[in-house]
Amino acid sequence: MTISSLLTPELVLPAIRAQAKAEVLETLAAHVGRAHPHVDARRLADALHERERQSATALENGVAIPHVRLAALPGPLAALARSPTGISCGALDGRPTQLFLLLIVCAEQPGSDLKLLATAARLLSDARCRARLLEAPSAVELLAALNEHEERTHRNGRTA
């Protein structure tokens, strides 16, 4: 399963206007709730805030991968947001976070998030991928850039 296969243009926000991490989480939850009516956006937002209270999901290089497990999901879900100016999220390197990749997996399938998280972290640790995601002018082009980098990573992994 690829990250880009979980996304649609409606779930890619190329210029989120949030000023704080809490606003980003609320916005992402609302978008997922609109795109997937079976997901309770309020429950998702609450789970995201609780997860962030336990441990921040901001990584280095302007990337955060907020992730939660929700009960009764038919499969994993994702959303992607970009903040043009960046938001302070407590990243280890102190840099503002510009790329937010939300991952949601089914609580009844323990461990299902680990492979998805590893894939996301590997993908977003690639400086070329991050640069393309930061430069893409639209949701469709953001998604295309992500898909292209996933395919390249998959091809390179298979031939290695």
Alpha carbon of residue 61 to chain centroid? 14
Alpha-carbon span 97 to 60, nearest angstrom = 8
Active site residues: 67
Those residues with Cβ within 8 angstroms of residue 108's Cβ, 6 or more apart along the chain or in another chain: 71, 72
Task: Output DSSP code: residue 68.
Answer: E
Alpha-carbon span 3 to 80, nearest angstrom = 10
**Is residue 67 within 8 Å of 113, Cβ to Cβ?**
yes
Write the DSSP assignment of 78-129 as a string of letters.
EEEEEEEEEE----TT-PPEEEEEEEEEETTSTTHHHHHHHHHHHHHT-HHH
CB atoms within 10 A of CB 7: 22
